[in-house]
Amino acid sequence: MLMVDRRLVSGVLNAKAGEDLHEFVQAALELEHSVIPPYLTAYYTLRPGRNDEIAAAVHNIAVEEMLHMTIAGNLLLALGGKPRLTDPDFVPSYPSLLPMNIGDLTVGLAPYSRDLLHDVFMRIEEPEHPIEFPARASAAAGTVAFATIGEFYEALINKLVALGDSAFIGDRAAQVVDPNWFPPDQLFRIVDVATAKAALTLVVEEGEGTKQSPLDREGELAHYYRFTELWHGRRLVPDPTAANGYSYTGTPIDFDPGGVWAMPANPRLAQYPPESRSRLIAGQFSRTYNQLLHALHDMFNGAPESLDAAVGIMFELGLQAQDVLATPDPDGRPTGLCFEYAFADG
């Protein structure tokens, strides 16, 4: 499971006012964003028309992480803060620990594989006490020096309950709400304790499920269990003969390793010659990613209507990704997807 510095939880619990929570909600925003490039890289490297069922699952999880990032931004606005998405350290320099994380999980950018699912993605989304279903190994115990992401969000909810509705002093109109992209029961304005609790609970349940069920409030599998069924290669389905009511015995989810673009792990623009086509298209991809970050920053800082523009840039990023992955570098090796904040000319 993804462990964080327990001092973050203590900091939340010691807050005296809503403004004291700004740095912690910004950290949550950064964490929710930080898993998007690894998930998108895995998704983009699944060749179109191959492994479509897996691609759809990974894409849907990435989109829900975008929802979680937006919820964190709205909460920061609700508390009178200003989300920052254009700071130089907003984007991790992959491979790296994720924001808030002091554990041993290093996250990088790599093509889709079953090992990536098991060793990275499942650990990112793993709840403190995953529900055990047939074919699932038991989880390792945590240590006192760490806290879980779920525990962090629980502390944040408890503190907001303690502070009460008076903590929500931000401009409601500045928050991002658009039913064209996210339904109103998932993305809504955070205006008081009740709406904040509902929004943060959604974030936790979509990632981890509940303590009693692998399903979130929409009746869909939480991220952890979706990744796990991809790893097992079978759907997690209700099973009255299993101890916890489910088992990985549903329809097969076939994985064709030949349907994955080859890509070097954790590519950097600097590794490609300045005048090469690989440098040109990898640089275009990185610039588009930066444009996306700036559009999202503007969206949270006075232009909530720019969500449409951000989604348009996201589509462009996907098209560019296929061009990058189909282009060899000067040595004939695959060109990689560079999610870099600061990029060289090229």
328 cis-preceded (ω within 30 degrees of 0): no
- Are 31 and 149 in contact by the 8 Å Cβ rule? The answer is yes
Provide the whole-model pTM.
Answer: 0.91
Give 167-219 pLDDT, tens digit per residue.
999 999 999 998 988 999 999 999 999 999 999 999 998 888 777 889 887 88
* Kind of pairing between the strands at 246-247 and 237-238: antiparallel
Q: Residue 97: count other Cβ atoms within 10 Å of its Cβ.
A: 16
17-44: average pLDDT: 96
Backbone angles phi, psi at 241, to 5 degrees: -85, -10
| pLDDT tens digits, 104-157 | 789 999 999 999 999 999 999 988 778 888 763 333 333 345 678 888 999 999
Q: What is the rounded CA–CA span in Å between residue 259 and residue 58?
A: 15
- Residue type (1 letter), 200: L
Q: What is the CA radius of gyration of the chain?
A: 20
What DSSP state is assigned to residue 146? E
Q: Which of 340, 334, 338 is nearest to 260 (CA)?
A: 334
- Give the separation between CA 197 and CA 343, rounded to whole angstroms: 38
Residue with tokens 């962090």: 152
In the chain, what is the greatest distance between 2 CA atoms, to the nearest angstrom? 62
Torsion 210-214-216-217 (CA) sign: negative
- Give the C-alpha separation, 226 to 253, whole Å: 11
Residues 6 or more apart whose CB falls under 8 angstroms from that of 245 comprise 238, 239
Hey, what are 232's tokens? Answer: 């097992």
CA 135 to chain centre: 26
Average pLDDT over residues 226-234: 95
**In whole angstroms, what is the distance from residue 90 CA to residue 73 CA?**
14
Distance CA 15, CA 22 (A): 10
